[in-house]
A = this chain, B = another copy of it.
Protein backbone atom coordinates (compact mmCIF):
# COMPACT_ATOMS: atom_id res chain seq x y z
CA UNK A 1 0.00 0.00 0.00
CA UNK A 2 2.48 2.53 -1.23
CA UNK A 3 -0.04 5.35 -1.22
CA UNK A 4 0.64 8.89 -0.08
CA UNK A 5 0.52 9.21 3.70
CA UNK A 6 -2.60 10.77 5.17
CA UNK A 7 -2.54 13.99 7.18
CA UNK A 8 -2.20 12.22 10.51
CA UNK A 9 0.81 10.23 9.41
CA UNK A 10 2.37 13.31 7.80
CA UNK A 11 2.10 15.19 11.08
CA UNK A 12 3.54 12.22 12.93
CA UNK A 13 6.47 12.16 10.52
CA UNK A 14 6.91 15.92 10.85
CA UNK A 15 6.88 15.66 14.64
CA UNK A 16 9.55 12.96 14.65
CA UNK A 17 11.61 14.82 12.06
CA UNK A 18 11.41 17.98 14.15
CA UNK A 19 12.65 16.13 17.21
CA UNK A 20 15.57 14.63 15.33
CA UNK A 21 16.68 17.22 12.80
CA UNK A 22 15.80 20.41 14.66
CA UNK A 23 16.10 19.32 18.29
CA UNK A 24 18.92 16.81 17.81
CA UNK A 25 17.27 13.94 19.62
CA UNK A 26 18.54 10.43 18.89
CA UNK A 27 16.32 7.80 17.33
CA UNK A 28 16.35 5.92 20.63
CA UNK A 29 15.22 8.99 22.59
CA UNK A 30 12.39 9.56 20.11
CA UNK A 31 11.42 5.89 20.26
CA UNK A 32 11.20 6.10 24.06
CA UNK A 33 9.06 9.22 23.91
CA UNK A 34 6.65 7.99 21.24
CA UNK A 35 6.35 4.31 22.08
CA UNK A 36 7.60 3.33 18.60
CA UNK A 37 10.60 1.05 17.99
CA UNK A 38 13.91 2.65 17.03
CA UNK A 39 13.66 0.82 13.70
CA UNK A 40 10.27 2.40 13.04
CA UNK A 41 11.61 5.85 13.98
CA UNK A 42 14.51 5.36 11.58
CA UNK A 43 12.16 4.39 8.75
CA UNK A 44 9.93 7.40 9.42
CA UNK A 45 12.97 9.70 9.31
CA UNK A 46 14.00 8.19 5.99
CA UNK A 47 10.44 8.74 4.75
CA UNK A 48 10.54 12.34 5.98
CA UNK A 49 13.47 13.01 3.68
CA UNK A 50 12.23 10.95 0.71
CA UNK A 51 8.77 12.57 0.70
CA UNK A 52 10.16 16.09 0.94
CA UNK A 53 8.73 16.76 4.40
CA UNK A 54 12.31 17.31 5.54
CA UNK A 55 14.35 19.37 3.16
CA UNK A 56 18.08 19.78 3.53
CA UNK A 57 19.73 22.47 1.42
CA UNK A 58 23.19 23.90 1.07
CA UNK A 59 22.63 27.63 1.45
CA UNK A 60 24.87 30.57 0.76
CA UNK A 61 24.50 32.93 3.69
CA UNK A 62 27.60 34.95 2.82
CA UNK A 63 27.26 35.60 -0.91
CA UNK A 64 29.58 32.78 -1.90
CA UNK A 65 27.54 30.40 -4.04
CA UNK A 66 28.49 27.29 -2.17
CA UNK A 67 26.34 24.97 -4.24
CA UNK A 68 27.95 26.08 -7.51
CA UNK A 69 31.39 26.15 -5.90
CA UNK A 70 31.07 22.50 -4.85
CA UNK A 71 29.67 21.49 -8.25
CA UNK A 72 32.50 23.21 -10.13
CA UNK A 73 35.11 21.67 -7.85
CA UNK A 74 33.69 18.19 -8.44
CA UNK A 75 33.09 18.57 -12.16
CA UNK A 76 36.53 19.97 -12.95
CA UNK A 77 38.51 18.26 -10.16
CA UNK A 78 39.51 21.54 -8.56
CA UNK A 79 41.16 21.89 -5.18
CA UNK A 80 39.90 25.47 -4.82
CA UNK A 81 36.64 26.71 -6.27
CA UNK A 82 34.82 29.85 -5.23
CA UNK A 83 31.77 31.16 -7.04
CA UNK A 84 30.22 34.47 -6.10
CA UNK A 85 27.03 36.21 -7.09
CA UNK A 86 27.75 39.43 -8.92
CA UNK A 87 24.54 41.41 -9.35
CA UNK A 88 25.92 43.61 -12.14
CA UNK A 89 26.93 42.86 -15.73
CA UNK A 90 29.45 45.68 -15.64
CA UNK A 91 32.92 44.23 -16.23
CA UNK A 92 34.61 46.53 -13.75
CA UNK A 93 32.18 45.51 -10.99
CA UNK A 94 32.79 41.87 -11.88
CA UNK A 95 36.56 42.28 -11.80
CA UNK A 96 36.41 44.10 -8.48
CA UNK A 97 34.29 41.33 -6.94
CA UNK A 98 36.42 38.52 -8.32
CA UNK A 99 39.56 40.36 -7.28
CA UNK A 100 38.40 40.79 -3.69
CA UNK A 101 37.22 37.18 -3.52
CA UNK A 102 40.49 35.74 -4.73
CA UNK A 103 42.19 38.07 -2.25
CA UNK A 104 40.10 36.58 0.57
CA UNK A 105 40.99 33.11 -0.66
CA UNK A 106 44.69 33.94 -0.69
CA UNK A 107 44.49 35.30 2.85
CA UNK A 108 43.17 31.90 3.92
CA UNK A 109 45.55 29.75 1.93
CA UNK A 110 48.92 31.47 2.20
CA UNK A 111 51.46 30.93 4.97
CA UNK A 112 54.97 32.30 5.60
CA UNK A 113 56.34 29.21 3.85
CA UNK A 114 54.62 29.95 0.55
CA UNK A 115 55.86 31.82 -2.46
CA UNK A 116 53.11 33.65 -4.31
CA UNK A 117 53.27 34.06 -8.07
CA UNK A 118 51.16 36.66 -9.88
CA UNK A 119 50.36 37.62 -13.44
CA UNK A 120 48.84 40.98 -14.25
CA UNK A 121 45.49 42.31 -15.36
CA UNK A 122 42.61 44.32 -14.03
CA UNK A 123 41.21 41.50 -11.89
CA UNK A 124 44.54 41.21 -10.13
CA UNK A 125 44.69 44.98 -9.74
CA UNK A 126 41.37 44.76 -7.95
CA UNK A 127 42.72 41.91 -5.83
CA UNK A 128 45.76 43.96 -4.83
CA UNK A 129 43.57 46.95 -3.93
CA UNK A 130 41.26 44.87 -1.72
CA UNK A 131 43.88 42.90 0.18
CA UNK A 132 44.52 44.16 3.68
CA UNK A 133 46.85 41.57 5.08
CA UNK A 134 49.13 38.76 3.92
CA UNK A 135 51.62 36.48 5.62
CA UNK A 136 55.34 37.04 5.04
CA UNK A 137 55.49 34.99 1.90
CA UNK A 138 57.64 35.47 -1.18
CA UNK A 139 56.08 37.46 -4.05
CA UNK A 140 57.12 36.75 -7.64
CA UNK A 141 55.89 38.31 -10.86
CA UNK A 142 55.22 35.51 -13.34
CA UNK A 143 54.76 37.53 -16.53
CA UNK A 144 55.64 40.81 -18.11
CA UNK A 145 52.90 43.36 -18.33
CA UNK A 146 50.35 42.29 -20.89
CA UNK A 147 48.76 45.58 -21.75
CA UNK A 148 50.00 48.95 -22.93
CA UNK A 149 50.03 50.46 -19.42
CA UNK A 150 53.16 49.19 -17.64
CA UNK A 151 52.52 50.98 -14.39
CA UNK A 152 49.43 48.90 -13.51
CA UNK A 153 51.28 45.59 -13.36
CA UNK A 154 54.06 47.08 -11.30
CA UNK A 155 51.48 48.57 -8.92
CA UNK A 156 50.14 45.07 -8.20
CA UNK A 157 53.61 43.82 -7.29
CA UNK A 158 54.40 46.89 -5.23
CA UNK A 159 51.21 46.67 -3.21
CA UNK A 160 51.17 42.91 -2.64
CA UNK A 161 54.80 42.69 -1.60
CA UNK A 162 54.31 45.64 0.74
CA UNK A 163 51.44 43.82 2.48
CA UNK A 164 53.60 40.71 2.76
CA UNK A 165 56.48 42.79 4.06
CA UNK A 166 58.94 41.46 1.52
CA UNK A 167 60.92 42.60 -1.48
CA UNK A 168 59.20 41.55 -4.72
CA UNK A 169 60.73 39.67 -7.63
CA UNK A 170 59.66 41.77 -10.60
CA UNK A 171 59.86 41.79 -14.39
CA UNK A 172 60.39 45.24 -15.97
CA UNK A 173 59.39 44.14 -19.42
CA UNK A 174 56.39 43.81 -21.69
CA UNK A 175 54.80 40.41 -21.98
CA UNK A 176 55.52 40.02 -25.70
CA UNK A 177 58.74 41.00 -27.52
CA UNK A 178 59.11 41.72 -31.25
CA UNK A 179 61.41 38.74 -31.92
CA UNK A 180 62.98 35.79 -30.18
CA UNK A 181 66.46 37.27 -30.31
CA UNK A 182 65.41 40.41 -28.47
CA UNK A 183 63.48 38.30 -25.96
CA UNK A 184 66.70 36.39 -25.22
CA UNK A 185 68.29 39.71 -24.48
CA UNK A 186 65.49 40.68 -22.09
CA UNK A 187 65.76 37.40 -20.22
CA UNK A 188 69.50 37.92 -19.81
CA UNK A 189 68.99 41.14 -17.83
CA UNK A 190 70.04 40.40 -14.23
CA UNK A 191 66.79 41.47 -12.52
CA UNK A 192 64.63 39.52 -14.97
CA UNK A 193 66.93 36.48 -14.83
CA UNK A 194 66.78 36.47 -11.04
CA UNK A 195 62.97 36.62 -11.12
CA UNK A 196 62.86 33.72 -13.59
CA UNK A 197 65.12 31.80 -11.20
CA UNK A 198 62.36 32.12 -8.56
CA UNK A 199 59.70 30.43 -10.70
CA UNK A 200 60.40 26.87 -9.43
CA UNK A 201 59.94 28.09 -5.82
CA UNK A 202 56.41 29.35 -6.40
CA UNK A 203 53.86 27.34 -4.39
CA UNK A 204 50.67 29.34 -5.04
CA UNK A 205 49.93 31.33 -8.18
CA UNK A 206 47.07 33.57 -9.23
CA UNK A 207 46.43 34.54 -12.83
CA UNK A 208 43.85 36.39 -14.82
CA UNK A 209 42.51 34.93 -18.05
CA UNK A 210 42.57 36.56 -21.45
CA UNK A 211 40.00 35.65 -24.09
CA UNK A 212 40.98 35.52 -27.75
CA UNK A 213 37.64 34.33 -29.09
CA UNK A 214 35.70 36.50 -28.36
CA UNK A 215 38.42 39.10 -28.07
CA UNK A 216 38.87 40.34 -24.52
CA UNK A 217 42.59 40.27 -23.90
CA UNK A 218 45.27 42.77 -23.01
CA UNK A 219 47.88 40.57 -24.65
CA UNK A 220 46.15 40.71 -28.04
CA UNK A 221 46.47 44.48 -27.88
CA UNK A 222 50.21 44.27 -27.30
CA UNK A 223 51.89 46.13 -30.16
CA UNK A 224 54.65 43.53 -30.48
CA UNK A 225 52.01 41.25 -31.93
CA UNK A 226 51.38 42.07 -35.54
CA UNK A 227 48.04 41.57 -37.26
CA UNK A 228 49.61 38.63 -39.07
CA UNK A 229 50.71 37.17 -35.74
CA UNK A 230 47.18 37.41 -34.37
CA UNK A 231 45.59 35.95 -37.49
CA UNK A 232 47.98 33.00 -37.52
CA UNK A 233 47.44 32.27 -33.83
CA UNK A 234 43.66 32.44 -34.20
CA UNK A 235 43.95 30.05 -37.12
CA UNK A 236 45.96 27.74 -34.91
CA UNK A 237 42.94 27.70 -32.60
CA UNK A 238 43.99 29.97 -29.73
CA UNK A 239 40.98 30.95 -27.59
CA UNK A 240 42.62 31.74 -24.24
CA UNK A 241 45.76 33.05 -22.64
CA UNK A 242 46.98 32.48 -19.09
CA UNK A 243 50.07 34.56 -18.43
CA UNK A 244 51.46 34.24 -21.96
CA UNK A 245 50.47 30.60 -22.28
CA UNK A 246 48.14 30.21 -25.26
CA UNK A 247 45.40 27.57 -25.14
CA UNK A 248 42.98 26.04 -27.65
CA UNK A 249 39.42 24.87 -26.96
CA UNK A 250 40.67 21.33 -26.37
CA UNK A 251 43.05 22.50 -23.68
CA UNK A 252 46.06 22.03 -25.92
CA UNK A 253 48.81 24.55 -25.27
CA UNK A 254 50.04 26.35 -28.39
CA UNK A 255 53.75 27.13 -28.28
CA UNK A 256 54.19 29.15 -31.49
CA UNK A 257 55.43 32.32 -29.83
CA UNK A 258 56.82 31.00 -26.53
CA UNK A 259 60.30 32.17 -27.49
CA UNK A 260 59.03 35.76 -27.83
CA UNK A 261 57.26 35.93 -24.48
CA UNK A 262 58.62 37.06 -21.15
CA UNK A 263 56.55 34.85 -18.84
CA UNK A 264 56.44 31.56 -17.03
CA UNK A 265 56.27 28.58 -19.40
CA UNK A 266 53.72 25.77 -19.55
CA UNK A 267 56.15 23.52 -17.65
CA UNK A 268 56.59 26.30 -15.11
CA UNK A 269 52.82 26.47 -14.48
CA UNK A 270 52.57 22.71 -14.16
CA UNK A 271 55.28 22.69 -11.51
CA UNK A 272 53.27 24.97 -9.20
CA UNK A 273 51.13 23.01 -6.71
CA UNK A 274 48.26 25.51 -6.51
CA UNK A 275 47.40 27.59 -9.56
CA UNK A 276 44.24 29.66 -9.31
CA UNK A 277 42.55 31.54 -12.12
CA UNK A 278 40.31 34.49 -11.38
CA UNK A 279 37.98 35.32 -14.24
CA UNK A 280 34.35 35.56 -15.25
CA UNK A 281 31.77 37.12 -17.52
CA UNK A 282 30.17 35.99 -20.76
CA UNK A 283 33.11 36.92 -22.97
CA UNK A 284 35.54 34.83 -20.94
CA UNK A 285 33.55 31.64 -20.51
CA UNK A 286 35.02 29.90 -23.52
CA UNK A 287 38.55 30.85 -22.47
CA UNK A 288 37.96 29.57 -18.93
CA UNK A 289 36.60 26.32 -20.29
CA UNK A 290 39.73 25.88 -22.40
CA UNK A 291 41.94 26.65 -19.42
CA UNK A 292 40.11 24.05 -17.33
CA UNK A 293 40.61 21.53 -20.12
CA UNK A 294 44.34 22.28 -20.15
CA UNK A 295 44.76 20.96 -16.63
CA UNK A 296 46.98 23.94 -15.80
CA UNK A 297 44.90 25.15 -12.88
CA UNK A 298 43.82 23.69 -9.55
CA UNK A 299 41.59 26.58 -8.59
CA UNK A 300 39.02 28.95 -10.05
CA UNK A 301 37.32 32.04 -8.74
CA UNK A 302 34.40 33.07 -10.91
CA UNK A 303 30.86 34.44 -10.91
CA UNK A 304 27.68 32.40 -10.72
CA UNK A 305 26.47 33.06 -14.26
CA UNK A 306 29.81 31.85 -15.63
CA UNK A 307 29.76 28.84 -13.30
CA UNK A 308 26.31 27.92 -14.58
CA UNK A 309 27.48 28.20 -18.17
CA UNK A 310 30.52 26.04 -17.39
CA UNK A 311 28.39 23.45 -15.66
CA UNK A 312 25.60 23.52 -18.20
CA UNK A 313 27.35 22.20 -21.20
Contact = CB atoms under 8 A, between A and B. Distances in A.
A51 interface: yes
Given A6-B108, A8-B80, A105-B6, A54 B58 contact: yes
Contacts of A56: 21-22, 54-56
Of A8, A61, A81, which is in contact with the most chain B CB atoms at under 10 Å from its CB? A8
Contacts of A21: 56, 58
A55 B73 CA distance: 21
B105 A58 contact: no
B14 A70 contact: yes
Given A18-B70, A55-B56, A57-B54, A62 B11 contact: no
A212 B309 CA distance: 63
Contacts of A18: 58, 70
Nearest to A22: B56
B108 A73 contact: no
Q: Which of A13, A14, A18, A22 has the most CB of B within 10 A?
A: A14
A255 to B, nearest CB: 33
A19 to B, nearest CB: 9
Interface in A1-57: 4, 6-11, 13-15, 17-18, 21-22, 51-57
Given A14-B67, A67-B14, A108 B54 contact: no
A51 B60 CA distance: 10
Contacts of A55: 56-57, 59
Contact of A82 (B11, B81, B82, B101): B11
B62 A10 contact: yes
A79 to B, nearest CB: 10
Contact of A101 (B7, B9, B54, B105): B7
Interface of A: 4, 6-11, 13-15, 17-18, 21-22, 51-62, 64, 66-67, 69-70, 73, 80-82, 84, 101, 104-105, 107-109
Nearest to A78: B11
Contacts of A101: 7
A73 B17 contact: no
Given A7-B82, A8-B105, A10-B62, A15 B57 contact: no
Contact of A10 (B4, B64, B73): B64
Contacts of A60: 53
Residue among A6, A60, A101, A104 with max Cβ neighbours from chain B (10 Å): A6
- Max chain B Cβ within 10 angstroms of own Cβ: one of A57, A58, A105: A58
Contacts of A17: 58
B52 A14 contact: no
Contacts of A52: 59, 61
Contact of A11 (B14, B22, B61, B64): B64
